[in-house]
Structure 1
Amino acid sequence: MMAARSTVWRDNAFAAGLAVLLAAGWAFQDWSPLSALRLPDTDDAMRLQQIRDWIGGQPFGDLAQHRLGLAGLEMHWSRLPDLIPATINMLLTPLTGVQGAELAAVLIWPALLFMAALILIGSLARRLGVSAPVAIVIAALAYPANTLFLPGRIDHHGLQLVLCLLLVRAAIGAAGWRAGAVAGLASVTSLVVGMEALPILVAGGALILWRWVVADDEQQQLTGYAVALAGGLLAAAWLFRTSGWSYPACDGFGAAAWRAAQIGAMAPLGLALAGRWLSGWHRRLLFAVGAGVIAGWVALAASPGCLSPYGGVDPLLSRLWLDRVAEAQPLFASPVSQAVGYAGLAVVGLAATLWMWRRTGAACWGMLAWFQAASLALTLLQLRGVYPGAMLAAPALAGVIAAARRRGVVPLAVAWIASAGFLYPLAGGLLQTSGDPEMLGAGMCDVPQAVDLLRQYPAGTVAGPIDLGAWALAGTPHRLLAAPYHRNTDGIRLSWRLMLSPKQRAEALARTHGIGFLVDCPGAYRELGALPANSLLHRLRTGDVPDWLEPLPGTGRGVAIWRVRVGNRHSSLYPLRQSPSRLRGDGAAR
């Protein structure tokens, strides 16, 4: 017992040390943007702004972003991922000031999540009987999953990946109510954070049900899972109810998603209660399938929007923007170079797990393969589904390395190369061709220059590229019409209309909506295709600036900003901030 505990402590210390070492190295490499709080992704910038708003007095349940869109936007996010970085921020502010505390929060929180992820992989490796340190090293290099833990990555995806790993570890652990309860609570917490991991959560619930069907001693695990799932959902609805709770979509933890999840939780709860009277796996299977079908039908009848969480998105937005976001692409619709870089490790990892399962005959390997297959199935629909699969490749690849070590240097070298996740995007780069379709992103926009310039002017309304929005929102006092959030239909469409309209119509739109600044960048607005020759954006790019616009001094090749004139004065019109109650009405985020 003491030896086992010593091994666990040693593995955990190794995981923590490796996480800190890599986090420090990454922070050193990117210190210049990080020290200026220029975070890696738009979601990170928006998360930082959401934390600032909360610390600044916005109510806990008010997730509206009041400076986004036409009249504020109800975000589909949750307050839960804000808790720890906000706590770090508030604890350190008296010691380091606001800037120092925010910097510490965006460095510490991803490192803590990375540490947790590696510790869970080590625990999973011990459960499967392979080397935990080797699996930890492989997981630390597991692209693209490890990019979720880079310094500055404070969005919710890293937390969601850790919760998925916790679910996997509990679901394939030893039978018992504690493991079941951990799996149920991990599922609830992941649902509160966001809906992206729902297929993995369903796979976890299905595995726990299957274990109950085929084994008489799994009753306690199912009971723990069912009680924690149903009870956790009730508690979460009370603790994390947001101002947008009744928003008519299933894109976040709101009434529709909670209702469907709570109905779905009744299936395992009912089976757990009836378990003692269901002897024999045939009868349990029949009741499990029946309960699942009934619960699923009732859940979708109660929340039909959950069949298509983004079904309410404006079709034009879907076609021109959302369907072209790189991580939202199906695997086989992506360029080969990108598909190899993203999914290469996950595919190799699943093959290694199946090989280990066949070689050892241990059921745990089959359970792990089930989760990896679920991740790859999700990847077929959206590339972002690959994150759990990439991380879960580590235990089996550690087993392959152990087997290769006994066969000589060359097999060992091949096994390590196949296990090095960072090599797959490099290999994908060798396959890139000039004909690969271009996905939407930040283009060549000089975001720091744009934010620095806009920060110098009084608050106004800015019409600019979609991907600039979140960074400008976090870095300036302005209202942004467009940002990469699917509920912001009105703001994005107005920004597009403004740029595509003839200059007289564009002026009328700008004055009607109090727009004070226009921003353009190289590569921006690619989603709009070829620009009409009489459009405002085409005229601006060809140097034909209408007299109602004035270029801001300091703009360069990376960004162009114009200020709207009002007579002899510049526009500083800024629509009055709407109250949270108004934001929940019909005129809010649609």
Structure 2
Amino acid sequence: MSRRPGSSGAVPAGAATATLALAMLLALAVYFGLEAERLRAVWTTGAFFDTDDAMRMVQVRDLMAGQGWYDMTAWRLDPPAGVFSHWSRVVDAPLVLLIEFFQLFLNGVMAERAARIAFPAFVLLALFGAGAYAARIFAGRSMRLFGVASMLFCGVMFWQFPPGRIDHHAPQITALIFSMAAMAEAFDPARARKAAALSGAIMALCLAIGFENLAFFALVAAAPAILYVLRGAEARDALLGFALGLGGALTFFFLLTVGPARWGVEACDALSMAHLVSALTGCAIYALLAIFGARISSPAARLAAAALAAAITIAPLALMSPACLADPFAGLDPIVRRYWLDHNAEVISIVEDYRIDPTAAVLMAATILIGFLGALFGMWRASGMARARWLFLSALIAIGVAIGSLHVRVLSTTMPLAGLGLLAPVGALRDFIAARMTSALGRTAAPLTALLALFGLSSFGVALAEPPFPISAAIENSAAKAWRRPDPCLESASYEPLAALGPGLAVSQISPGSYLLAQTSLSVLAAPYHRDNHGNRLALDILRSPPALAESLARKAGAKYVLLCWAKPSDEAALREMAPDGLGAELTRGHVPGWLRPLDIKGTPFHAFQVMPRSD
């Protein structure tokens, strides 16, 4: 019988692994049951529920249609030049493979829908695995099932993992949990090199997908240096392993995802040469510290060396791309920022979110706070290396809370971290019950009671929300009331009638752009992406200009249609507030200029107009 650390040895290793696999599959079954309505909508109608999911499918379709691997241009967005996307082929590739697989026995449309269901499910299954791995590191092998449960109950699966969710957030969240747990494992000198290398390699994968978790990874990357300051030569394997893992993997992913033609192009929102050089510089310094740093015996001197290493690491980025150290949206057109970004619900603060839906905002914040307090409890209760790990997790949650208070989307990344924080009080409760129950029934009751406690803590106070699952309505996304509330202008079904329009360039509001690209053959000027600076500004200028000037701008852009949606009074108000005498405002009042012809399209809240040929 095999015995593992943290286990009593009463359960064979093979049986424990089988039990864990079964638990993960059961959790996935629960997920499908709770998301049955959305799953059905994706399968039967192909509905999109988020602009990013629609845009991702546009990118995947273009790749499957023959667009180059390194060519990330969305050609139908702000044509003829198009917009070069900052998104990564790392997410496109598995979607293409899934579609190709399902096409073996389904037609193209249904294969795409099947892939959109399978992709988030596979990533969620990986998240369950990450939760089990992290639970073993923080709380012992016997807590792995609770790690799976913490990912199931923390609420993030309703926010970033539902059927149809194929954007980049879910893979990044999963990668962060794996990388964080591996770094925590590297606190043990006996496992440091392999665990730190794994942490660095997974971090590289995540950075190749996107930079949303960069703040969290700053702490993960700093952990080997902190270990070096505190432990000296004992941190050698952590330094060297992380340097090899991050440096090797990031180089691989850079070459895989960034074409040679763009090696000299500055990019602050995606992996670039400047980021690679900075990362490799840091990896080289970590390697030097691992080889020669043992000679520095004073903790103060090691701290100075680590601080110097940090400054040298950031220097290439500061020299090659100084703009990347400033506001990431500094280059955004001020008009676009005013009328789009400043109202984008993904970047609103928790205070603004509270104004939209106080109950949901408080409940989401409360559950994360409970997880944070749980991690602090684990730190208080533990000692030595275990205490350092709980401190590490607490610091990551604190980072998430700090940034999430400014941009609520970050709280979706913080949720699974907070879920892991609950393992400390839940484990203590299980141990307390088990110590006082010696019967077989008692030993069974202890983990079940702890599991119920985990569920109760993670869904604290959320029973006021809608059934069938308490978390699904309130924690699914506190900001859902802002960007996922029922809005006919952003419902996939509203775009189906527009598919009958012939190809051409459409002038529309910014938010509908992704859906128009995904569900029609139209090209668009505007879409909710910061790189579409020119197209978004031009679309806003057309809608804000008096009809005569708007005609000149629209014809110069080659526009064939004007498509506007005002399903609610607030939609009309927004168009009128932009410019009371602008084209958008005039159209809401029914004042259609002679150069536009209204199109009678039933079944959609969109008001469609065709640009007429010049009369002269």
Q: TM-score, normalised by structure 2?
A: 0.84
Residues 348 and 526 (structure 1), Cα distance of their counterparts in 2 relative to 1, 3 Å cut: farther
Residues 549 and 300 (structure 1), Cα distance of their counterparts in 2 relative to 1, 3 Å cut: same
Q: Does 1:284 align with 2:306?
A: no
- 1:228 deviation in Å? 1.7
Aligned residue for 2:48? Answer: 39
Aligned residue for 1:125? Answer: 135
Q: Does 1:359 align with 2:359?
A: no
- 1:425 deviation in Å? 9.2
Superimposed CA distance per residue, residues 43-101 of structure 1 (whole angstroms, 9 cap, x where no aligned partner):
11111111111111001000000000143000111111111111111122132121121
Q: Does 1:419 align with 2:429?
A: no
Which shows bigger deviation, 480-489 or 354-363?
A: 354-363
Q: Does 1:540 align with 2:540?
A: no
SS in 2 for 1:213: helix
Structure 1: distance between partners of 2:32 and 2:296: 51
Aligned residue for 1:136? Answer: 148
SS in 1 for 2:422: helix
Residues 342 and 486 (structure 1), Cα distance of their counterparts in 2 relative to 1, 3 Å cut: farther
Structure 1: distance between partners of 2:564 and 2:49: 21
After superposition, the CA RMSD in angstroms is: 3.1
Structure 1: distance between partners of 2:458 and 2:472: 18
Residues 38 and 256 (structure 1), Cα distance of their counterparts in 2 relative to 1, 3 Å cut: farther
Aligned residue for 1:221? Answer: 238
Contact 1:38 1:448 in 2 (8 A): yes
Contact 1:469 1:483 in 2 (8 A): yes
Which shows bigger deviation, 354-363 or 458-467?
A: 354-363
Contact 2:89 2:257 in 1 (8 A): yes
Q: 2:176 aligns with which of 164, 175, 179?
A: 164
- 1:526 deviation in Å? 6.4
Identity %, equivalent residues: 26
> Which runs of 5 or more residues in structure 2 are unaligned?
4-11, 434-445
Which shows bigger deviation, 387-396 or 96-105?
A: 387-396
SS in 2 for 1:196: coil
Pairs within 5 Å for 1:132-531 = 132-144=144-156, 146-173=158-185, 174=188, 175-215=191-231, 216-242=233-259, 245-308=263-326, 309-335=328-354, 337=358, 339-361=361-383, 362-363=386-387, 364-404=389-429, 406=432, 416-420=455-459, 423=462, 426=465, 443-445=487-489, 447-522=491-566, 523-524=570-571, 530-531=577-578
Contact 2:372 2:398 in 1 (8 A): yes
Which shows bigger deviation, 46-55 or 291-300?
A: 291-300
SS in 2 for 1:172: helix
Contact 1:126 1:132 in 2 (8 A): yes
Contact 1:555 1:561 in 2 (8 A): no
Contact 1:142 1:421 in 2 (8 A): no
Aligned residue for 2:606? Answer: 559
Q: Does 1:97 align with 2:107?
A: yes
Structure 2: distance between partners of 1:424 and 1:204: 35
The one-letter amino acid paired with 2:267 is A
Structure 1: distance between partners of 2:515 and 2:556: 25
Superimposed CA distance per residue, residues 244-294 of structure 1 (whole angstroms, 9 cap, x where no aligned partner):
554433011233433443334333233223234334544332311221123
Residues 414 and 97 (structure 1), Cα distance of their counterparts in 2 relative to 1, 3 Å cut: closer
Contact 1:329 1:383 in 2 (8 A): yes
Which shows bigger deviation, 360-369 or 130-139?
A: 130-139
Residues 488 and 382 (structure 1), Cα distance of their counterparts in 2 relative to 1, 3 Å cut: same
Superimposed CA distance per residue, residues 489-514 of structure 1 (whole angstroms, 9 cap, x where no aligned partner):
11111111111222222222222222
Pairs within 5 Å for 1:2-21 = 3-21=12-30
Superimposed CA distance per residue, residues 317-350 of structure 1 (whole angstroms, 9 cap, x where no aligned partner):
2232112211212334542525424433222211
Residues 152 and 223 (structure 1), Cα distance of their counterparts in 2 relative to 1, 3 Å cut: same
Superimposed CA distance per residue, residues 2-31 of structure 1 (whole angstroms, 9 cap, x where no aligned partner):
634532442233123312431354144441
- 1:151 deviation in Å? 0.6
Contact 1:446 1:558 in 2 (8 A): no
- 1:137 deviation in Å? 2.0
Residues 126 and 414 (structure 1), Cα distance of their counterparts in 2 relative to 1, 3 Å cut: closer
SS in 1 for 2:521: coil
Residues 410 and 115 (structure 1), Cα distance of their counterparts in 2 relative to 1, 3 Å cut: closer
Aligned residue for 2:439? Answer: none
Superimposed CA distance per residue, residues 276-319 of structure 1 (whole angstroms, 9 cap, x where no aligned partner):
43345443323112211232244323321221322222222223
Structure 1: distance between partners of 2:155 and 2:540: 35
Aligned residue for 1:581? Answer: none
Which shows bigger deviation, 439-448 or 498-507?
A: 439-448
- 1:233 deviation in Å? 2.4
Which shows bigger deviation, 544-553 or 335-344?
A: 335-344
> Which runs of 5 or more residues in structure 1 are unaligned?
570-590
- 1:358 deviation in Å? 0.6
The one-letter amino acid paired with 1:202 is A
Superimposed CA distance per residue, residues 109-144 of structure 1 (whole angstroms, 9 cap, x where no aligned partner):
100110111111112112222633233223212224
The one-letter amino acid paired with 1:296 is I
Contact 2:282 2:309 in 1 (8 A): no
Contact 1:278 1:284 in 2 (8 A): yes
Contact 2:133 2:147 in 1 (8 A): no
Aligned residue for 2:88? Answer: 78
The one-letter amino acid paired with 2:504 is G
Structure 1: distance between partners of 2:92 and 2:262: 17
